[in-house]
Chains A and B, each alone.
Chain A
Amino acid sequence: MLPDTTGSWTPVALSADLPAGTVMPAWTPAGSNALWRSDSGRTAASADRCPHRGMRLSHGFVRGEALSCIYHGWSYARAGNCLRIPAHPGLAPPETIRVATQRVEESDGLIWVAVGEPAAAPPRLEGLVPLRSLTAHASVAALETAAGATAGPEGIVWKVQASQTIRLLLAAQEDDQTLIHVLLRDNSSPAQRIAASRAAETLRRAAEALQAKGIAP
């Protein structure tokens, strides 16, 4: 997270993990979001709750440029306004039916969701490419302890082996879990990619062990 005076950006997913026409849950400090990509490739994030009957919209489905709730098929535009209520096909949904939306930015293969109204764009990660994301059942603090490093505004720089460092972006989740995005230099070899992936898993296990023993701060 990158706090500034008015808001912050949370890295929620890798671009590659959200294909066109799909939706997934994405957590920020402001709560759970339905993060989706329309058939034409545009991303959007809304509150993860359909105002009709409270169903999680992240369980829904994407068709065209709309996100639909899986319960009754109510569909919403990227801007959050309700487009269609299938039980009443002839009815134009009133403007008052809408879901709250959050700003989404996508750059360097990462998707960022805003909390509040950050003045600046999310940080650029030039020269880096995302490798994978993984979820640790451990807090950010436990991961920092395991890595022997403190997460700055642009994550943790971590030495995997003598000649290789990787970048880890950490996003706190519900229930003391942490989403880890692993990035590495864009000229990395397949062997270095494998080493980075294994190193991230080793770090996750170490942090989970610290958390389980209650050693983590």
Chain B
Amino acid sequence: MTHNAMIDEWYPVGLFSKLDAAGRKTALMGEPIDVARDAEGNAKVTEGNGRPLPVRVRYGHVWSSLGAPQKALFAIPEADQAGRRFVDVGVVRVRCSPLRAVENFLDIAHFPFVHTDILGAEPHTEVQNYKVEIRDDEVWATQVKFYQPQAAKSASGGITTEYMYRVPAPTCAVLYKTCPPRPSEWDVITLFVQPLAEDLCDVWPWMALFDDTTSLTDLIHFQQTIFLQDRSILENQIPRLLPLDPGMEIPTRADLTSVAYRRWLKRHDYTYGAQLVAQ
């Protein structure tokens, strides 16, 4: 299996706000790396053998790559919009493929069963038709609607929430979601996934919200509750790697985003964390 296509991508490797001179020992695609703050206060990422790796600091996180990224890190225009609150949620380690973690984030049909009474509740289980397309070589799902008992920390009752999903990089997804206090805007919730190995990842959610009232602690607790519920699923899927062979799992109309994501991965040879042939 070749991993070249994914080697040259950018990956999150830590929160910039938490860096110190001592550094943080972690891994990227099986290679040990060290993420630290240098004497000038800049982020510095080095491989185990001391080789310096490329670095970007954006969206609260430090980004790096084992290869030579040809593209700039994807843009999130809302990250520069005045009035938003930017929330570093922290990290959740999950014993699963980084690609499975992203696919789960793109899925709404599990809300009533996994995030019961928060992001979904029976009998409101139906997934209405939505649109999926490739825009500028990113996977986009739009007009996604779902009934939610408590869509956000700032929501006080059940509402039908509208979502848009965007996959700009193989292990990153951006969610745009109805913003209860400001109906003309979208709240932005991202999933940045650091592939530690093909079957192990650190998930770094990040948010850009219009919410001036909820405490930071409550915002973080809300997201951590959601991601811990997801972890109970992700660590119990078989196989651990994401199957790209269409015969291995059975999608329905509700899974069109996942189908488009898998095809897009396959087309780009983004196969680190994927299983190509049924076993």
Within 8 Å CB of B238, what residues of A? 48-49, 54-56
Contact of B113 among A49, A54, A70, A85 (CB under 8 A): A70
Contact check, B109 vs A87: say whether CB atoms are below 8 A apart: yes
**Cross-chain contact A86 with B122 (CB below 8 angstroms):** yes
From A70, which residue of chain B is reached at the shortest CB distance? B113
Say yes or no: B237 contacts A53, CB within 8 Å. Answer: yes
Give the complex CA separation of A56 and B237 in angstroms.
6
Task: Considering the complex, give the chain B residue whose CB is closest to the CB of A49.
Answer: B238
Is A51 at the interface (CB under 8 A from chain B)? yes
A213 within 8 A of B: no
Q: Are B239 and A54 in contact (CB under 8 A)?
A: yes
Contact B233 A70 (CB under 8 A): yes
Q: Among B127, B249, B253, which residue has its beta carbon within 8 angstroms of that of A52?
A: B249
Bound CA–CA A51/B252 (angstroms): 12
Let me know if B233 and A55 touch, CB within 8 A: yes
A86 to B122, CA, bound (A): 9
Kindly list chain A residues whose C-beta atoms are within 8 Å of the C-beta of B248.
Answer: 54
User: A56–B236 Cα gap in the complex (Å)?
Assistant: 6
The reply on A42 being an interface residue by CB < 8 A is no
Contact partners of A71 in chain B: CB under 8 A: 110, 113-114, 233
Is A124 close to B, CB under 8 A? no
Number of A-B contacts (CB under 8 A): 63
CB distance from A148 to the nearest CB of B (A): 39
* Number of chain B interface residues as a range: 20 to 34
Given A53-B237, A71-B233: A88 touches B253 (CB 8 Å cut-off): yes
A60-96 contacts to B, CB under 8 A, are 69-73, 85-89, 91
Question: Is A59 an interface residue, CB under 8 A from the partner?
Answer: yes
A:95-110 near B, CB below 8 Å: 97
- Give chain B interface residues in 249-272, CB to chain A under 8 Å: 249-254
Which residues of chain B are near A86, meaning CB under 8 Å? Answer: 109, 112-113, 122, 125-126
Is there an interface contact between B109 and A72, defined as CB atoms closer than 8 Å?
yes
Name B125's contact: one of A48, A49, A54, A89 (CB within 8 Å): A89
Is A54 a contact of B243 with CB atoms below 8 Å?
yes
Q: Measured between alpha carbons, how far is A140 from B110 in the docked complex, in Å?
A: 40
In angstroms, Cα B112 to Cα A72, docked, is 8
Once bound together, how far apart are the Cα atoms of A132 and B3, in whole Å? Answer: 50
List B contacts of A91 (CB < 8 A). 252
Within 8 A of A (CB), among B94-114: 109-110, 112-114
Interchain nearest-CB distance for A174 vs B (Å): 13
Contact assessment for B109 and A97 in the assembled complex, using a CB-CB cutoff below 8 Å: no
Cα distance A85–B239 when bound, in Å?
Answer: 22
The answer to whether B239 and A87 have CB atoms under 8 Å apart is no
A-side contacts of B237, CB under 8 Å: 53-56
The smallest C-beta distance from A88 to any residue of chain B, in angstroms, reads: 6
CA distance A126 to B180 in the complex (A): 66
* 10 A-B pairs closest in CB distance: A86-B125, A87-B254, A87-B109, A87-B127, A54-B237, A56-B236, A54-B238, A73-B113, A72-B109, A49-B238
